[in-house]
Amino acid sequence: MFEESKVAFFLAKRSIVRGNKGTLYLTILILGMVFVNLIFLPSIITGVAVLFNQQSIDYSYGNLVIEPSKNQIYINNVSELQKKVEHIPGVTGVSPRYSTGATFTHKGNVVTATLAAINPDDEKTVLKTPSKVITGNFLSSGDTDQVVLGYQLAGNMNEKLDVIPSLGGVSVGQTVDITFSNGVTRPYRIKGIINSGSYSADGSAFITKKEYESVIGINDKANEILVRTEATGNENSMRNTLISFGVQEKIWTWEEKSANFLNQIIGSFNIINLIGTIVSLVIAIVVIFIVIFINTVYRRKQIGILKAIGIDRSIIIKSYIFQALFIFAIGTVVGGIFLLLILQLLAVSPIVFPGGPVAPVVDPMLIVRSIISLLIVSIIAGYVPAWITTKEDILSAIRG
């Protein structure tokens, strides 16, 4: 067995060293590209998912969201609950808020959008929205007749540039009328405009919680409390901690809150990914198969001679598998180098998605999986053509 492999290895080595270099380099290159293809697209998709997840946390939900108990519209005695949660170990920020719908009017533009009523100082401890002001300023705790708009909601003078229905390009200092759910309409001066890269934040408006409570006529309530925790990833155990500290309201993790949207996106991406992977692997199989097949057909006579002088078919087949493995090994290394170069390039000038710049996230398991699939593909694509060609009888092979 070992002797056989030694001879097969010897023959493979000579074939590679003395065979056609052009074809060899080309095959290695193709295999390398297939490897890049297997890794790159999924990594970008993972990168997008990571970006969306981070946005959900940073601009929409924090890590945990406390909502009113069943059949309640509001959480009552919010300041008490806030204090309680703030003191739980692992909690770094708590922001009680009202998240509702409202109608915004400016010079004939009427838009319905999300209105978040917040305590600016609390909001800063949970979300990054307050730090994303591009013009003007964010709200201060005493503000009453001021509003901060997401830049998508503020919009553009040129309607065609808008992604969502907008106020037509309003800017800081102008006035917007807000009609609340109870029918009250009040004018607000635009204090600032934010651009966070998150669709939900950039399509919302912000006023102070105090102002909202005075309009609606309620006090010390909220319809959601966002909680930021020290670490991301252990939301479930933090939820239990909150419960053990006596929080009786409903508690969601950010993942649960954004589940539908994200699952849909990731679900469709996974299908794209699967198709891409299968196509890549089929290309790899076909290319290596063709190359090895042409190689063996081209060496028909040689294979006949080898059999004639007493070299078993299995040794000859093995020598072609070794050649395929060589192509696989070098191809993977070449592909790996390519991939590193691409990642380096993307680190310098990232791909900008609507949500912001996306850095590819390379999962080590994906690399392992890709290498294993390519390995299997190479063995099959080396074995089958060699098996076919070595079947021929000796004299016909030698005559050519």
> Binding residues for other proteins, per CB under 8 A?
3, 6-7, 10, 14-15, 18-19, 299, 301-302, 304-313, 315, 393-395, 398
Contacts of 317 (CB under 8 A, 6+ apart): 383, 386, 387, 390
- Supply the DSSP symbol for 222: B
Indicate the residue among 4 and 255 with the shorter CB distance to other proteins: 4
Cα dihedral sign for 52, 57, 63, 67?
A: negative
In the complex, the smallest distance separating the C-beta of residue 326 from other proteins, rounded to whole angstroms, is: 15
Burial class (CB in 10 A: 0-12, 13-18, 19+), 89: exposed
Indicate the residue among 94 and 306 with the shorter CB distance to other proteins: 306
In the complex, the smallest distance separating the C-beta of residue 269 from other proteins, rounded to whole angstroms, is: 47
In the complex, the smallest distance separating the C-beta of residue 333 from other proteins, rounded to whole angstroms, is: 25
Indicate the residue among 6 and 87 with the shorter CB distance to other proteins: 6
Indicate the residue among 198 and 296 with the shorter CB distance to other proteins: 296
- Residue closest to 202 by CA, chosen among 356, 94, 346, 313: 356
In the complex, the smallest distance separating the C-beta of residue 23 from other proteins, rounded to whole angstroms, is: 14
- In the beta sheet, which residues pair with residue 118? 97, 208
Indicate the residue among 310 and 354 with the shorter CB distance to other proteins: 310
CB neighbour burial string for 217-251, b if at least 16 within 10 angstroms, e if fewer: eeebbbbbbbbbbeeeeebeebbebbeeeebebeb
- Residue closest to 147 by CA, chosen among 204, 82, 96, 225: 204
Indicate the residue among 89 and 400 with the shorter CB distance to other proteins: 400
Cα dihedral sign for 250, 256, 259, 261?
A: positive
